[in-house]
Amino acid sequence: DAGVTQSPTHLIKTRGQHVTLRCSPISGHKSVSWYQQVLGQGPQFIFQYYEKEERGRGNFPDRFSARQFPNYSSELNVNALLLGDSALYLCASSFSSGNTGELFFGEGSRLTVL
Amino acid sequence: GNSVTQMEGPVTLSEEAFLTINCTYTATGYPSLFWYVQYPGEGLQLLLKATKADDKGSNKGFEATYRKETTSFHLEKGSVQVSDSAVYFCALLYSSASKIIFGSGTRLSIRP
C-alpha cells in the first residue's frame, strides 16, 4: 500500500519567490496535517485539514496557506519566501478529524531558500 | 505554555547496551504522550504511545511509562541493535487540540 507521498522531494528557491508543496495522503485517510522541521529541531505544526476545511493552524504568518482537495490531497503554499523558511516540510495523514496523535508522515519536501 | 523537553544527543551506544532517552513535558491537564522515530531516509513513524497516567506504551522492544507525578515519558530499551539507529522524538497531544507538540529530537547511533 502506498504511504503518504510528497512532491517535490527537494527544491531550491530564492528570497521573495513562491513555493507550492503537494501531498497525497494514504488511501482512505481524510485528514492532512503540515509540519515544518528546521534542521536540528522537532516538527512544528502549520495546518490541519479535514474534509477540505481547516481544522487547526499553528503560529505561522499569513504567507503560509494551504488547501485540501476533494480527493483529500493537499497543497501548502508559501509566499514571499524568507531565508528562515528553509526547512523540511512534512505532510501527515490520518483517518479521522479527531486527532489521536497517530499520524502517518511522508518523507518530506526539503526547501532551501537562497 | 505546553512543551516537551528531551535529552540532547547525539547518543552513541554499543550494540546490546541499555538505552534510556529522557523526556519531560510541561502541560496543563492530561495530554497523550508519544514517541516517534525517524530512520535515515524515511518519514516519521509512531513508535509507541500512552494516553493516561501510568500507561505503558511498548513496541519493538521499546517501552515508555506515562509518569504524571514527574511529568516524564522516558524511552527505554533493554538491548539496542544497530538497526535502532535513528532520531527519536518525544511528543504530546491534547485531545481538544489539532496539533502535536514535538521535542527537538535525540539522535541515537549504535556501534556494532
pLDDT digits (tens, 9 = 90+) for A26-82: 999 999 999 999 998 999 999 999 888 998 899 999 999 999 999 999 999 999 999
Distance from CA of B93 to the nearest CA of A (A): 6
Nearest residue to B24 (alpha-carbon basis) of B67, B62, B78: B67
Q: Is A60 exposed, middle or buried (0-12, 13-18, 19+ CB in 10 A)?
A: middle
Segments of chain B scoring below 50 in pLDDT: none
Distance from CA of B90 to the nearest CA of A (A): 9
pLDDT of residue A102: 86
Q: Average pLDDT for residues A6-24, to the nearest whole number? A: 98
pLDDT digits (tens, 9 = 90+) for A71-84: 999 999 999 999 99
How far apart are alpha carbons A106 and A23 in whole angstroms?
A: 8
pLDDT digits (tens, 9 = 90+) for B7-27: 888 999 999 999 999 999 998
Per CB distance under 8 Å, which residues of B are interface residues toward A?
4, 32, 34, 41-46, 49, 89, 91, 93, 95, 97-105
Whether A43 and B102 have beta carbons less than 8 Å apart is answered as yes
Distance from CA of A60 to the nearest CA of B (A): 13
Cβ contact, residue pair B104, A42, below 8 Å: yes
Strands (E), B2-99: 3-6, 11-14, 19-21, 23-26, 32-38, 45-50, 56-59, 62-65, 75-77, 86-93
Query: Which of B43, B93, B103 is closest, CB to CB, to A42?
Result: B103
* Res. A87 pLDDT band, cuts 50 70 90: very high
What's the whole-number average pLDDT of chain B?
A: 93
